[in-house]
Structure 1
Amino acid sequence: MHRDLATLPDQNTVTCDLCIVGAGAAGISMAIDWLKAGKKVILLEAGGFEFDVETQALNNGTNIGQRYYALPATRLRFFGGTTMHWGGYCTPLDPIDFETRPYVPHSGWPISYKEFASFLPAASKMVEIDDETWNLDTYIADKENYVPLDLDPSVFYSKLFKFSPPTRFGEKYRKALVESTSVTVYTHANLTDIVLNEAGQQVKKVRAKSLNGNTLTVNADHYVLAMGAIQNARMLLANNKQHKQGIGNHNDLVGRYFMEHPEVKAGQIFLKKPQSMKLYFFDYLKIKMYSELAIAEEAQRAHGLLNVTAALSPKELSGDWAWINTLPREGKKSYDFWMKSEKKVLARPPSDVDTRKYRTYQMQIRMEQSPNPNSRITLDSKKDRLGIPEPVLNWQLTSLERNSIKGMYTVLGKELIRSGIGRLHAPDWVFDTSLQWPDTLGGGWHHMGTTRMHNDPKKGVVDANCTVHGINNLHIAGSSCFTTAGSANPTLSLIALTLRLSKHLKQHL
C-alpha cells in the first residue's frame, strides 16, 4: 500500500509491528524481506517516487575536514535512495576486515565473517547477481582471454567484482511494496522526532513531517533507522530532548568513526610481456564482472597495511620507453619505484629496455580508511526547513592511510620485479609522506561508520544485533553499523548485514 503524507489530512497516527525509516538499499531490502512475515510494516520515505529539488535540499550540510564532495550530491532523497544512481559494483567485505588487527586501532567486529557471509546469497539476489563463488579461479570459464597477472597470491591477487544491472531499488521493488497488504509505504514522510518512554529505554513513537506541514505519528513495537551513515547519526544527535547528548550517545560515540574509501589515481604499471588484460577492464554489454589488484591478507598482516585495491586502465606508451628519463634531475625528485628503493638491485635497468615496448596501465587506488574517532558527524546551528539541525562532516584521515599507500606500492613494486612481468611508477607524494594528499583525492561516495557495531557500549553505538545500546527496540540498518570499512564497495555487504538484522527482528516479533 502507498500513501503520500503530503496529500493526507494533518495529524495522522498509525500503529504497526515494525517501522522502517528510509527506503534505500537497506530499508527496501528489509521491507521486501517482511512481505510474507504476517506482520504490519510501515516504511517511511523522505522523498517521493521521483527526484525533487526541495526535498533533496534537506540533505544540505557542511564539510570542515578533508576535501570532499558537496553533501547533497552524495545521497539521493527519494524512493530507492542512492541505488538510483548506483554504479552496480559488487564485492563483499573480506575475512580480514572482521579481525582485530593490532596495527589497526578500533578494529574487530563482534560478528564473524562466516556469519556475515551466510547472508550474501540473499543479498546477491536483491541486487540481481549470482552467488556461485567469489573465487576468481573457479568463477572464470574463459581462462584464455581472462588471465590474471602472474603474481604471488600470498602477496597480490586479482579480486573479483560482479556487476548488478545495476538494480534500481525504487523501480525494481516499488510494485511489490505499494501493492502489498502488509507493508505501507509513506512518501514525503521526513523523520523529525524520536520519542522515548519515561525510562528512556524504549522508543515510544516517531513523528514524520512533509514539507507542506502534514504530520504522521507511528507507534510500533520495533523501529529501524535506515537513512545512511550521515542521516542516521544526524537524527540520533538531533533528538536530544530526553537525552541531552542525543539518543544512544551516552558515551559520545554517535557520529564518530565516519569512514569513506579514499580513492585517487596514482602511478602506472609497466608490463613487459603482452597478455590479455580483459579481466581488468569491465564491459557492461559483454561481461558482468572484472577484477582489481588487491593486497593479500597475508601481506597486509606482514607489513601492517590497511586493505587496498588498484583498478587498472589502459594507457599505452608510444614508442620505446627511455629509462634515463626516470633518473633524478636537479631540483626534482623521482619516485619511480625501481629508482627509489634498493638501488643496487632496482636501479639497474633490464638489458632489453631500449628495444622492448612496455604496455602502460594507469592505477586507480581505493583503500580502507582506519576507524578514527575524530572523523565524525556533528550538528550545525543552521537548521533545515523542518527545523532539524544540518549535519557537519569532519572527514579525517590518519598517518596509517598514508603509510599503507606507501607500503602497498613498495610491496607491489617488489612483486612485479620478482615475477619479472613489469615495473611500477608512483608519484612523489606516495613515497614522500611529508607531502600532502593530492587535490585529486576523493572518496567512493561510500559513507560508513557513525553508529558502529561493538558489544561494549563504550566502544560502539549498536550491539552485535544492530540494536542501539540501552534502547531495546531501536535498531540501525546499513553501513553506518560497519566497524571497519574494508576496501570493498559497501552496497552488497550492507544489504547482507541488513538481512541479518531482519532475521533477528523476526525472531523477536
Structure 2
Amino acid sequence: MRVNSDFLRQADLPPVVIIGTGPAGMTLALSLEEKGIDCLLVEGGDEFYSEDSQSVYEGKTFGDEYFALDETRLRQFGGSSNHWTGLCRPLDAADFEARPELGVPGWPIKKTDLDPYDMAARDILEIGQTRDFEFSGTVDEIAFAMSPPVIFSQKYGDRIDASRHIHLSLNTSLISLVAEGRSVTHLELADAAGNRVRLSPRLVVVACGGLENSRLLLWSNEVSGDPVVAEASALGRYWMEHPHFRLGDCMLNRPLHRSDIPDWQTTYFNPRAEVMHRHGGLGFALEMPFQGPDDSLRGHMRQIGCRDLPAMLEMLSSVRGKTPTCGYTLTAAWEQAPDVDNRIVLSKEERDRFNVPRLQLHWRKTAFDLHTAKVGFELVARDIVAKGIGAVRAYRHLIDMENYTNKHGIAGHHHMGGTRMSDRAAEGVVDRNLKIHGMSNAYVLGSSVFPRAGHANPTFTIVQLALRMADHLAKRII
C-alpha cells in the first residue's frame, strides 16, 4: 500500500525499512511479504521519470571518459530497471574466488551460497535455463538469457499497491543515516514537500544503487555523531565497471549460431577461467551477434574496406580457400580488477537540493584491465583460426595496448563495488550477510557489495543477493 508522510511520522513502523525500489530493494520487499513480514519501501523519486528528481544524480567524472552520472541510472519507482535491456547470466564459480597474485579478493561466500535462489531469481526476471557448449579445449560458447525485460515498477506496482505488508513511500529522499555506538538510531529523510522526517528503524537496508550507496554512506559518516561505517578505508573505493569495446573484425566461412535453440541469436565466446588464470587475466566474453549470410558479409566488407582495404584483402585470403559467408564486428565485455584509486568521493563545492554533496566518480582502466582484454581476444581468435572456420583481425588499439576512447565503446552501465563484501572490516564495508561491519542493524544491498565482478551482467546476482538477505532478515525478526 502507498503511504504518506503522516505514516512516516508515526512511532510504530514496520520492522524493516528499505531505501530504494530498484531490482534489489523491490525483490527484498516482495520476498519479505511472502514471509509475512512488514516493511517500509522508500523511493526518492516519483512513480515516473522527472527531471527535477533526476537532477539529484548529477555529478562529475574524472579519469577515463564515462557516461553522464544523471543518465547512467534512474531515480524513480523501479530504479534503473526502467532502462534495463534484460541481459542475464549468473556469475561463475570462479568469479567468487580470490586471485591473490593479482591483488584481487574473493567473495566471503561461494556460488553455492547463491545457487538455492537460482530458480526464484529466474521467475522474478522471467528467464529460462540456458546451456553452454564447448567450442574448443580452452574456449566455451556461453549463453546469456534475455529478460523481456522486467521493469519492476510495471510488473510489481499493482501488487505493492494492494499489499498489506509492503508500505511504499514515493518522493521520500534519504538524506543520511545517524549512528550511536553500534546502531543506526535514526534516518534523516525529506518528504515530497521538502520537510524533514526522522525515522527510527529496527533494521535498515540501503539499496540505492552502485553509486548512491557509497555517496549516502560517505555523507552519513560526515554528519553522524558516531560513524555509520567505523572502518571506512574501503568505503567508496574499489569501484568497478564492465568495459564494453569493439576489439576487432572477423570473417567466417559459415555462420556460428545454435539453430537448435530458437532464441539463440548471439554467440558469446568465453575463455575458461583456468585458462585466463594461466595467462594472468580475469573474466572475459567476446560477442558475435548472429546475422544472416546474405547481408552481413557485404555490409561488413564495405565497412572494413572503407576503413582499411589491405586488411580486408588479408582477411579474405586467410579463410583457407573457403568462401567467406559472414562478417562480424567483435565486441567484448570483461572484468575490471578492483583498484583502490577507482573510487566515489563527495564534492567539496557542489550540493544537491537537499544540501548533500554531489558525487564525484574517479574511474580509469588500468594496464591490467587492457591485458585481460588482449589475452581473452587472442585466445578466442586463435581457436577460430585453428578450427579453419575464419580469420580474425584485432584493432590497432588492442594490439598496441593504447588507452581506449569512446570511439569503440565505454562500459556496460554496471556500477559495482564501493561498499564491497568482506570478512574483515579493514578490507570491505559489509560482511557476508551484507550487514555493515560493526553495526547491529544496518545493511547494504546491490552490486555495490561485489568484491569482484566477473564478466556477466550484475542484475541476476543482485536479485539472488536480495532473496538471500530476505531469509537472513526473517531469522532476525521472527
The TM-score with structure 1 as length reference comes to: 0.85
Q: Does 1:158 align with 2:126?
A: no
| Whole-angstrom CA distance in 1 between matches of 2:268 and 2:117 | 24
1:97 to 91, 95, 103: 95
- The 8 Å contact of residues 271 and 285 in structure 2, kept in 1 or not, is answered as yes
User: Which residue identity is paired with 2:25?
Assistant: G
1:375 partnered with 2:371 = no
Q: What amino acid is the match of 2:156?
A: Y
* RMSD over equivalenced CA pairs, Å: 2.8
**What does 1:332-411 align with in structure 2 at a 5 Å threshold?**
349=318, 352=321, 356-381=323-348, 382-411=350-379
CA contact (8 A) 1:151 1:416 kept: no
Tell me which residue corresponds to 1:2. 2
SS of 2:427's equivalent in the other structure is: coil
Amino acid at match of 1:307: G
Equivalent residue for 2:297, pick from 314, 317, 321: 317
Deviation of 1:220 (Å): 2.0
The match for 1:238 is 219
- SS of 1:233's equivalent in the other structure is helix
Tell me whether 287-296 or 203-212 shows the greater mean CA deviation.
287-296
Corresponding residue for 2:46?
48
Q: Which amino acid aligns with 1:218?
A: L
1:305 aligns with 2:305: no
| Structure 1 match to 2:457 | 489
Q: Distance in 2 between matches of 1:307 and 1:468?
A: 28
Q: 1:125, CA displacement in angstroms?
A: 1.2
Which runs of structure 2 are paired with 1:244-263 in the superposition (5 Å)?
Answer: 247-248=228-229, 250-263=231-244
Find the counterpart in structure 2 of residue 438 from structure 1.
Answer: 405
Structure with the larger helix share: 2
Change in Cα spacing, 1:289 to 1:421, as seen in structure 2 (3 Å) is: closer
Identity of paired residues, percent?
28
Counterpart selection for 1:187 from 150, 167, 170: 170
Once the two structures are superposed, residues 172-199 of structure 1 have per-residue CA deviations (whole angstroms, 9 ceiling, x without a partner) of 11112121112210110100121212x2
What whole-Å deviation, never above 9, does each CA across 1:302-359 have from its counterpart, x for those lacking one? 212111111113473339989xx9xx99xxxx999x99xxxxxxx9956527xx3352
Report if the CA contact (8 A) 2:87-2:144 is conserved.
yes
CA gap of 1:267–1:506, structure 2 versus 1, over 3 A, is: same
Question: Aligned letter for 2:387?
Answer: S
Shift in Å, 1:245: 9.7
Distance (Å, rounded) in 2 between the aligned partners of 1:271 and 1:246: 59
Which TM-score applies when normalising by structure 2? 0.90
Partner of 1:422: 390
Counterpart AA for 2:276:
Q
Name the SS of the counterpart of 1:443 in structure 2. Answer: coil
Aligned-partner Cα distance in 2 for 1:19–1:319: 54
Look up the SS of the partner of 2:90 in the other structure.
coil
Secondary structure at 2:71 match in 1: helix
Alignment correspondent of 1:135: 131
2:264 aligned with 1:296 = no
Asked if 1:458 corresponds to 2:403, the answer is: no
Q: Work out whether residues 13 and 217 of structure 1, in 8 Å CA contact, stay in contact via their aligned partners in 2.
A: no
Specify which of 423, 430, 442 is matched with residue 474 of structure 1. Answer: 442
Match of 2:67 among 59, 66, 69: 69
Deviations 1:407-460 (A, max 9, x none): 122212221222111121111111112x22133331111101000001011111
Residues 318 and 289 of structure 1, relative CA distance in 2, 3 Å threshold: closer
Is the alpha carbon distance of 1:211 and 1:308 closer, same or farther for their aligned partners in structure 2, counting shifts above 3 Å? same
From 181, 190, 194, the equivalent of 1:213 is 194
State the distance in 1 between where 2:144 and 2:83 align: 18
- CA deviations 1:232-271 (Å, max 9, x no partner) are 1001010135668953152421110111110011211221
Distance in 1, Cα, partners of 2:8 & 2:208? 24
Aligned residues: 466
Counterpart residue type for residue 272 of structure 2: A
1:112 maps to what in 2? Answer: 110
The alignment partner of 1:394 has SS state of: strand
The AA in structure 2 aligned to 1:155 is T
Deviations 1:144-164 (A, max 9, x none): xxxxxx830x42111111111
Structure 1 CA distance, aligned partners of 2:265 and 2:206? 32
Is contact 2:422-2:431 (8 Å) kept? yes
Match of 2:470 in 1: 502
